[in-house]
Amino acid sequence: MKILHTADWHVGKVLKGRARLDEHRAVLRELVGIARAEDVDAVIVAGDVFDTSAPTPEAQALVMPALMALREDGRQVVVLAGNHDNPYLLDVYRPVLGALGIHVLGTFRRPDRGGVVTFTARSGEPVRLAVLPFLSHRHVVRAAEALTESAAEHNRNYAERFGQLAAAMTADFTADTVNLVTTHGTLPGGRFGGGEREAQSIFSYYFEATAFPSTTQYAALGHLHRRQQMPGPCPIWYSGSPIAVDFGEERNTPGALLVTVEPGSPALVREVAITSARALATVTGTLGELEAMAPDLTETWLRVIVAEKPRPGLADIVRELLPGALQVDLHEQFRPTQARRRDSDSGPTSRGPRDLFGDYLGATGRDDPRVAALFDRLHDEVTS
């Protein structure tokens, strides 16, 4: 059978105030085109369908037709919640989309209550797909343990309990079925794409590759936005995001994965690039140099570092030269002396809420990694 593995759509993502719904529409259309052209038997969407837990009607209006188009010709479609998604909203969709043959899991379910999706592929193979949506720390490790144990201990507890859940979900894998796992989270050693939520990628949210038994023929992961294979007892892949969600991902190659698998054999994986979205780039130069670059950057979203002395209207001039400029900054050598000294004192990047809260904890004698980790999780919740 053949599978299209995709994740981290982040539909509804706004980039520096610029809506990208048209780009997402084109990306989803391209994914549907790949499913049709490759005649895949199943599609796995491994989390972060939406960018926020409260997606706009416009974002939902893009996702629903895309899922139904992926379902065409009898393809199986499986969607699980990622850390950006609202798991309870996806569970609201579950009965309606389920009636259309689209399997949606927002919250964790036992194997006998929908957590393991079983079907026969159009190519004839029996399939068992264990689905583990993103599991927050509070759902895996009890709050009392998180407060009384060290950060390392409750990080380890999360990984151990995830492994226990995965073992239960894969206990019925046999040699005569196609055995698949999909989940959303972080494996140690994975290369970040740049746009992931830090507190839900480290700090208590990792699991080990050994959670996937050797009877698994393919593990389809979401969360890290860079497409990559991970070492483990079975083929384990992140599909990456089909769209660069912010400038930290400008060097990524957006795409998806095509997976061919049959009972008793490891999966064969082929990478597919997605080209519908506009590229992201950071450019640096004088006004003259930027003007010279302009013809090659008409379809690119830009972060511009302008090497000119500051003066009124400079950012407007840059945007006239480069209409795709979403962020305009002064080159460090042209910043006022006071600002340069402040930047030098605080390190290579500006100090954000996490840094300031860390300073407060240190100054008041409350420097506790458990408190810092909790702040990170709360900060991500209120700023996402």
Q: How far apart are CA 187 and CA 133, in angstroms?
A: 15
Task: Write the single-letter amino acid at 108.
Answer: F
Q: How far apart are CA 134 and CA 102, in angstroms?
A: 19
Residue 155: pLDDT over 70: no
pLDDT band at 139 (very low <50, low <70, confident <90, very high): low
What is the average per-residue pLDDT within 32-55? 96
Locate 69 and state its tokens. 């188009």
**Is the Cβ–Cβ distance between 282 and 302 less than 8 Å?**
yes
Residue 322: pLDDT over 50: yes
Locate 101 and state its tokens. 């043959």
* Strand pairing class (255-260; 2-6): antiparallel
Q: How far apart are CA 261 and CA 72, in angstroms?
A: 21
What is the average per-residue pLDDT within 280-285? 95
Q: Which of 19-33, 305-319, 325-339 has the highest mean pLDDT?
A: 19-33
pTM for the whole structure: 0.82
**Is the Cβ–Cβ distance between 88 and 106 less than 8 Å?**
yes
Tell me the per-residue pLDDT of 344-376, one tens digit each, with 9 for 90 and over: 454 444 567 877 887 777 776 666 777 777 787
What is the average per-residue pLDDT within 185-190? 87
Q: How far apart are CA 97 and CA 200, in angstroms?
A: 28
Residue 91: pLDDT over 90: yes
pLDDT band at 198 (very low <50, low <70, confident <90, very high): very low
CB proximity list for 27: less than 8 A, separation 6 or greater = 9, 242, 243, 254, 274, 276, 277
CB proximity list for 177: less than 8 A, separation 6 or greater = 125, 126, 127, 128, 263
What is the average per-residue pLDDT within 187-191? 84
pLDDT band at 206 (very low <50, low <70, confident <90, very high): confident
Residue 304: pLDDT over 70: yes
Q: How far apart are CA 4 and CA 297, in angstroms?
A: 31
2-11, 156-165, 195-204: least confident range = 195-204
Task: Write the single-letter amino acid at 109.
Answer: R
Q: How far apart are CA 189 and CA 230, in angstroms?
A: 8
Q: How far apart are CA 243 and CA 59, in angstroms?
A: 15
pLDDT band at 160 (very low <50, low <70, confident <90, very high): confident
Residue 350 DSSP SS3: coil
- Residue 281 has phi, psi (to 5 degrees) of -155, 150
Give bridge partners of residue 179 from the DSSP assignment: 128
Residues in the chain: 384
Tell me the per-residue pLDDT of 2-40, one tens digit each, with 9 for 90 and over: 999 999 999 999 998 899 999 999 999 999 999 999 999
110-114, 226-230, 297-301, 334-338: least confident range = 334-338
What is the average per-residue pLDDT within 221-231? 95
pLDDT band at 62 (very low <50, low <70, confident <90, very high): very high
pLDDT band at 380 (very low <50, low <70, confident <90, very high): low
Q: How far apart are CA 329 and CA 308, in angstroms?
A: 10
> How far is Cα of residue 86 from the mean position of the Cα atoms in its chain?
14
Residue 216: pLDDT over 70: yes
Locate 150 and state its tokens. 């060290």
What is the per-residue pLDDT for 194? 58
> How far is Cα of residue 157 from the mean position of the Cα atoms in its chain?
23
